[in-house]
A and B are shown apart, each in its own frame.
Chain A
């Protein structure tokens, strides 16, 4: 299910990206364009998938080269699982510890219920979910401001 960069990164033009590749860390993030994000409202729910032990080792051996692809695959998987018009991925970031996907939904229950039907990808340990009491724009802005580059 999870490809090892078997295809080029394909990303909808709804999203912008920021990728830092350093000697000992990697941070890839994706967010919904400002103009698409601004009109949206709802509750922000962040799903954080920690890497499984074996995936972490694998990532280490491959210099974290594939983690951006894994993040996009995870986004696609969540999109396909929820398949509802009113749940939208607004932000996703991945590093050597975890991959975190944040969604906007009218009610967090929609996300929780949807995720019940999705098997956890084998490259991850069980995810944790957190609701953020801020607007989608504010959430993305705040996360982007933490990018040190």
Chain B
């Protein structure tokens, strides 16, 4: 099988030939970088959805204090439901793939994956929020509903000038009665579920578990990250050295005669050097 390997600028204007060995090295490095980025992106996905939940809660809370704009209330309420749904789904996207991602980056370090696995078991065992959000995935996929009730309270207190000031408190709840029977929700978790679960407090608590998992996975992957980046950076720098910075967006191309001399596979390189991971942000 006659194959051709080379580095190419984005518009295919400049190319630099690679040996098959160099190609394999880059392919391996790229795969690992993309997996490590995926861990980071997926974590960011959950945190971003949490922010959306917070924003929708703030909007809705404000709308309920005046109850003036009913059409906005009716508009934001489904948005809040959507944000919570997205949060639950993204949490599952993160947790369900985490071990696989780490394993693929560290194929020979089984005990590290076991450590991560143990950590997940520990979180499941010790945190109601972790168990509950994990179980919510099935409910949410089935019903498309993730919030059942709101409570808006207002109190009057006297400020420094003894003037009465009204203060509001707005919360969203999942109600156990609406979750339904064990057929729709993990029975063991349903048994321990209180009558009402405060959604925002639940998600904030779950975030803590995800942070632990994310940080642990990232610390396992730091060495692989550095090594893969160094390897990719070397090639990219040679390319830029030869063709200049205007060709800094570098791709790897694999053409093969068996595929009619067309591009058989191609993947980007520079993107993994130019993007900062969540774990690296201060």
Give the dominant DSSP class at B's interface. strand
Q: Besides A8-B66, A19-B152, A65-B70, 13 other CB < 8 A contacts? A: A9-B67, A11-B154, A11-B166, A13-B164, A14-B156, A16-B155, A18-B153, A20-B149, A23-B148, A23-B149, A33-B156, A62-B70, A66-B67
B233 touches A (CB below 8 Å): no
B 144-164 contacts with A by CB, 8 A: 148-156, 164
Shortest distance from the beta carbon of A53 to any chain B beta carbon, whole Å: 22
Please name the residue on chain A nearest to B164 by beta carbon: A13
Shortest Cβ distance from A29 into B: residue: B153
> What residue of chain B has the Cβ atom nearest to residue A6's Cβ?
B68
Per DSSP, chain A at the interface is loop
- Chain B residue at smallest Cβ distance from A149: B151
Which residues of chain A from 25 to 78 have any CB-CB distance to chain B below 8 Å in the complex? 33, 62-63, 65-66, 68-69
Number of interface residues of B (CB under 8 A): 24
How many Å from the CB of A72 to the closest CB on chain B?
Answer: 9
Instruction: Give chain B's interface residues, CB within 8 Å of chain A.
Output: 64-68, 70, 73-74, 148-156, 164-166, 173, 175, 178, 196
Q: Is the CB of B175 within 8 A of A22?
A: yes
Q: A126 within 8 Å of B by Cβ?
A: no
Question: Are B64 and A21 touching (Cβ within 8 A)?
Answer: yes
| A65 near B68: Cβ-Cβ < 8 Å | no
Please tell me which one of the listed residues A15, A18, A68 contacts residue B67 in the complex, with CB atoms under 8 A apart.
A68
Decide if B152 touches A21 in the complex (CB within 8 Å).
yes
Which residues on the A side are within 8 Å of B149 (C-beta)? 20-23, 149
Pick 21 A–B contacts, CB within 8 A, sort by A.
A5-B70, A8-B67, A9-B68, A11-B154, A13-B156, A13-B164, A15-B156, A17-B152, A18-B151, A18-B152, A19-B64, A20-B151, A21-B64, A21-B150, A22-B148, A22-B175, A23-B149, A62-B70, A65-B70, A68-B67, A69-B67
Shortest C-beta distance, B147 to chain A (Å), equals 9
Instruction: Judge if A7 is at the interface, Cβ distance under 8 Å.
Output: yes
Closest beta carbon of chain A to B60's beta carbon, Å: 10
Pick from A15, A16, A21, A62 the residue with the most CB of B within 10 Å: A21
Shortest distance between the CB of A92 and any CB in chain B (Å): 14
Rounded to whole angstroms, the CA-CA distance of A66 and B68 in the bound complex is 9
User: Whose C-beta in chain A lies nearest to the C-beta of B150?
Assistant: A21
The A79-101 residues at the B interface (CB cut-off 8 A) are none
**Inter-chain contact A65/B164, CB cutoff 8 Å:** no
Closest-CB distance, A94 to chain B (whole angstroms): 12
